Structure 1
Amino acid sequence: MSQLPPDPVVALTPDPLTPDRDVTHSHFQAGDTVVVLKGVAGGELWGDAMRVVAPSWHLPTDEDGWRLRDATGGQQSYVTAHPRYLVHLSRRCPDCLIHLRAMEDALLPKYPGDDALIDCGWYTTTAVGQLVHVADVRAGR
Structure 2
Amino acid sequence: MSQPPPPPTPVFTPTPDPLTPDRDITHAHFQAGDTVVVLKGAAGGELWGDAMRVVAPSWHTPTDEDGWRLRDATGGAQSYITAHPRSLVHLSRRCPDCLIYLRAMEDYLLPKYADGEAIVDCGWYTTTALGQLVHVADARSGS
TM value normalised by structure 2: 0.96
After superposition, give the CA deviation of every residue in 1:38-64 in whole Å (9 maximum; x if it has no partner).
000000000000000000000000000
Does the CA contact (< 8 Å) of 1:8 and 1:117 recur in 2?
yes
Does the CA contact (< 8 Å) of 1:68 and 1:78 recur in 2?
yes
Q: Quick one: distance in 1 between partners of 2:120 and 2:23?
A: 22
Percent identity between the two aligned chains: 81
Counterpart of 1:135, as a letter, is A
SS in 1 for 2:70: strand
Residue equivalent to 1:90: 92
Counterpart of 1:74, as a letter, is G
Q: Quick one: distance in 2 between partners of 1:43 and 1:37?
A: 14
After superposition, give the CA deviation of every residue in 1:114-139 in whole Å (9 maximum; x if it has no partner).
10000000000000000000000001
Distance apart, 1:16 and its partner CA:
1.6
Q: Quick one: distance in 2 between partners of 1:5 and 1:17?
A: 29
Q: Quick one: distance in 2 between partners of 1:3 and 1:18?
A: 34
Counterpart of 2:58, as a letter, is S
SS in 1 for 2:86: helix
After superposition, give the CA deviation of every residue in 1:78-137 in whole Å (9 maximum; x if it has no partner).
000000000000001100000000000000000113100000000000000000000000
- Report the RMSD for the aligned CA atoms in angstroms: 1.0
Residue equivalent to 1:52: 54
4+ runs of 1 displaced by more than 6 Å? Answer: none
SS in 1 for 2:102: helix
Does the CA contact (< 8 Å) of 1:68 and 1:80 recur in 2?
yes
- Select which of 128, 132, 135 maps to 1:130: 132
Does the CA contact (< 8 Å) of 1:16 and 1:106 recur in 2?
no
Distance apart, 1:2 and its partner CA:
5.7
- Select which of 115, 118, 121 maps to 1:119: 121
Stretches of structure 2 that go unaligned for 5 or more consecutive residues are: none
Stretches of structure 1 that go unaligned for 5 or more consecutive residues are: none
TM value normalised by structure 1: 0.97
Aligned residue pairs total: 141
The reply to whether residue 79 of structure 1 matches residue 106 of structure 2 is: no
- Select which of 23, 28, 33 maps to 2:25: 23
The reply to whether residue 68 of structure 1 matches residue 35 of structure 2 is: no
